[in-house]
Structure formats: C-alpha cells, structure tokens
C-alpha cells in the first residue's frame, strides 16, 4: 500500500560498564588545585577524550556515558568518589572489543596521571547478531 518500512541488518553488540573513580574528598576552599584528587575532573577528562575518539571513528559506533554519581555531591567539597556507567555499541564484534579495550586503557592512563584509583566493571558483553541476508534482501525490494 505504498508504506515504507525500516529493515534491520543486524542487532548491535553491546558492552556496558560501571566505573568507579576513587580520589580524595577535601574542602573546596582550602585545597590548592595542584593537590586535588578530584574524581569529577577525572571523569570529565575520560568522557571528553572518549567521546571525541568515538566521533572520529564514526557510525555505527555509539558511546554513552550516563548515571554519573559524584560523592559527596556537595558544592563545597572536592569529590573523592565518582561512579558512572558506559554503554558502547557496534555491529562488528572486533571493532567493539578493540574500541572498548582502548577505552579501558585510556581511562587507566588518565587515572594514573591524576593519582586516582579506578575500578572497571564490565557487566554486559553481548556479541552483535547479523540478520538473515536473504530475508533482508527480500524485505528491501
């Protein structure tokens, strides 16, 4: 009847993480910038660098940082702990694995440089699933 439909070529692979950064909480007014072990600052560096790399890689890679929880989460204390989640997806298992391995290495390097502890928990690791090529071709016609 003239209606168009979207045809799915593959179900993307997904890797999801919960990452915890451990620094040191201190008073915001009396702790010099050079002595801070600020986990929100570490998170911001990780997030910025990773998103820029994902943009350079391009589609179909997607990367999302979410559920960011700094502690103690108050205006006058340098955050000593920050937990956040990462969702990364791609249709090619090798590309997904390579990108996320580099992401893990980059996060560790930033934290080492800043004297921040890091715990990386990969809690979802799903392979992509290609759709039946003949069925996709038939539906595309």
Average pLDDT over residues 113-132: 95
Instruction: Give the dihedral of Cα atoms 38, 43, 46, 47; nearest 10 deg.
Output: -150
pLDDT digits 0-9 by tens, 65-100: 999 999 999 999 999 999 999 999 999 999 999 999
The answer regarding whether domain 12-127 maps to CATH 3.40.50.1820 reads no
Domain boundaries, the chain: 12-127
Average pLDDT over residues 36-50: 98
Query: For residue 7, what pLDDT is reported?
Result: 77
Query: For residue 136, what pLDDT is reported?
Result: 73
**Cα–Cα distance measured from residue 10 to residue 50, given in angstroms and rounded to the nearest whole number:** 25
Q: Could you tell me what percent of the chain has a pLDDT over 90?
A: 83
User: How many distinct helices (H) and strands (E) make up the chain?
Assistant: 3, 8
* Contact by Cβ (8 Å): 79, 42: no
Query: For residue 141, what pLDDT is reported?
Result: 75
* Helix intervals (H) in 27-83: 39-57
């Amino acid at each position: 009847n003239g209606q168009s439909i979207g045809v799915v070529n593959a179900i993307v692979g997904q890797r999801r993480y919960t990452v915890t950064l451990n620094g040191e909480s201190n008073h915001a007014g009396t702790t010099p910038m050079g002595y801070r072990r600020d986990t929100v600052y570490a998170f911001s560096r990780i997030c910025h660098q990773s998103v820029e790399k994902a943009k350079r890689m391009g589609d179909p890679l997607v990367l999302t940082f979410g559920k960011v929880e700094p502690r103690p989460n108050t205006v006058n204390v340098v955050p000593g702990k920050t937990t956040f989640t990462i969702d990364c997806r791609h249709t090619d298992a090798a590309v997904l694995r390579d990108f996320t391995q580099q992401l893990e290495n980059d996060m560790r390097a930033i934290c080492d440089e800043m004297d921040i502890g890091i715990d990386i928990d990969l809690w979802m690791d799903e392979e992509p699933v290609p759709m039946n090529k003949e069925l996709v071709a038939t539906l595309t016609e």
